[in-house]
Amino acid sequence: MRIKCTIKTKKLPIDYHFLFVSLIKKALSITDKTYYSHLYNYEDNKANKKSKNFTFCVLLDSYRIENDEFILDEIGNIYLKISSSDMKFMLFLYNGLIKIKTHKYKECQIEILNVNKEAVREIKKNKISCCFKSPLVLKNKEEKFIDFNNVEFEKEINYYANMNLKNYRGYGLKKKIQVSNINMKRIVIKEKSKEFKMLKNNLLYINGSIGEMQLEGDKTDLQDLYDMGLGARRSQGFGYFDIK
């Protein structure tokens, strides 16, 4: 299932990911506080960092960048797109989002104009052409971010795909994924949060890849990955792709 929110605001911080994470959390807590707590907290009220079965991307039109902010023109909108293989999650999220008119996170306030369900593509072949709308983020065993130029790129795609599918459905990949026709570029995302207190100025720099590539594997695996996203940090707005 996929959801599209049309949003209005005058400006948006470049490190906007936590803003939209907070909106998603708010929507879930409005619908079902118990479900929200189970998803994001342990019993001792510590954050549950287990991977979540969803991804999202943020698209903007008619904007300019000034002082680490997106400044939107009068006609400019923000489009928040959320995708998940978990129907229960998406129904709770949708029911919460339609009740929210405005949302404030730190100094930024957004207005939700409308919330719509989007069509989901059915994958019928074992090879798909992917277009990443939010960066694909991967880490190697040394916990370093890698991009499409790295020799471990395909290996780490398989690692994350297998792990995320196993967490979602109880078993991992049916077939190893092969990557080809890569037409991507490296992108660096800057995030600031109190969670990064061990880093200089609380800043984390994330290396990712954005663009197009082909994935070949089992079509059931590919369908679930299309629904839930691919790679690390999916529930923070990474790894969302469309099919060409």
Task: Kindly report, residue by residue over 187-234, the tens digit of the pLDDT.
Answer: 998 876 555 544 556 677 889 999 999 999 999 999 999 999 999 999
Instruction: Flag the least confident range among 43-47, 74-78, 179-183.
Output: 43-47
Burial class of 161 by CB neighbour count within 10 A (0 to 12, 13 to 18, 19+):
buried
Kindly state the helix (H) or strand (E) to which residue 70 belongs, with its residue range.
strand 69-72
Instruction: Flag the least confident range among 64-68, 141-145, 154-158, 171-175.
Output: 64-68
Q: Is the pLDDT of residue 148 over 60?
A: yes
Domain range 127-243, CATH class: alpha beta
Look at residue 76 in the predicted model and tell me its pLDDT: 80
Backbone angles phi, psi at 232, to 5 degrees: -90, 160
Look at residue 196 in the predicted model and tell me its pLDDT: 52
Look at residue 67 in the predicted model and tell me its pLDDT: 84
Backbone angles phi, psi at 102, to 5 degrees: -135, 155
Q: Is the pLDDT of residue 179 over 80?
A: yes
Q: Which residue has the higher pLDDT, 51 or 102?
A: 102
Q: Is the pLDDT of residue 52 over 80?
A: yes
- Residue 138 Cα to chain centre, angstroms: 13
Look at residue 151 in the predicted model and tell me its pLDDT: 94
What is d(CA 239, CA 161) in angstroms, rounded to the nearest whole number?
Answer: 11
Domain range 2-118, CATH class: alpha beta
Region 74-91: mean pLDDT is 92
Region 125-145: mean pLDDT is 94
Q: Is the pLDDT of residue 169 over 60?
A: yes
Q: How many CB atoms lie within 10 A of CB 75?
A: 7
Look at residue 107 in the predicted model and tell me its pLDDT: 85
Annotated domain spans of the chain = 2-118, 127-243
Look at residue 194 in the predicted model and tell me its pLDDT: 56
Q: Residue 126 is encoded by which pair of tokens?
A: 């074992």
Beta bridge partners of 13: 69
Region 154-160: mean pLDDT is 96
Same fold, 2-118 and 127-243: yes
